[in-house]
Amino acid sequence: MDDFFTVIKERHSYRGSFADKAVPRQDLEKIIDAGLSAPSGKNEQTTEFVVIDDPLLLHQIGQMHSMQAMHQAKAMIICIIDKDPEPVYHGYSFQVEDCSAAVENMFLALTALGYASVWIDGWLRLEGRAEKIAEIIGLPRGKQVRVLLPVGISRDTVPRLKKKSFERRAWFNRYHGENEKGHAAREND
């Protein structure tokens, strides 16, 4: 997909079966480069990545989750941040935001290259899963697994979930002000 806005519209979370086709490292490098190109607070560039393409490691991590995408992924991208990040601006750290921006860039790159994935975050925080994965990949104690992306070529066509309209989520000049047609938004919309 060459058109940027088409890529944005086509991006979706995929939890289904993956085709039995490897993800070439050159594609994985392009995807990671997209993540590395994301903006970061104070340009600290804090998010780091481990790319898993070893079948034994994929199996070991994949078996921790019941989702097909985790069991059949041909690669996984693990996004890493500091456990106790240093403040970079008036006492604030932006590592979670930096990681999120990197993940979104990688999602767009995945879509543009014809791959699918799902953003796995909350699941990692339960039952010590992030810590188990950190141990598997040899992560130093001061680092944490924040997001995991299973990667592959989708086997199934999944209907895209409809997004709420502009009029329901965006306005000009004030909350619930004018929508894109220049009309005042309805309060109960």
Give the confidence band of 115 by pLDDT, cuts at 50, 70, 90: very high
Using 50, 70 and 90 to split pLDDT, how confident is the model at 2?
Answer: low
Domains and CATH numbers, the chain: 4-154 (3.40.109.10)
Q: What are 47-56's pLDDT values in tens digits?
A: 999 999 999 9
pLDDT digits (tens, 9 = 90+) for 127-171: 999 999 999 999 999 999 999 999 999 888 877 778 888 888 888
Tokens of 94: 């932006």
Residue 138 Ramachandran class (φ > 0 left, ψ -120 to 50 alpha, else beta): left
81 strand-pairing partners = 144
Q: 172: burial class by Cβ within 10 Å (0-12, 13-18, 19+)?
A: exposed
At which residue do the structure tokens 């975050």 appear?
Answer: 121
Question: What ranges make up the beta strands (E) of the chain?
Answer: 48-52, 75-82, 143-151
Residue 46 token pair: 């804090």
Helical spans, DSSP H, in 65-170? 68-72, 95-112, 129-136, 166-169
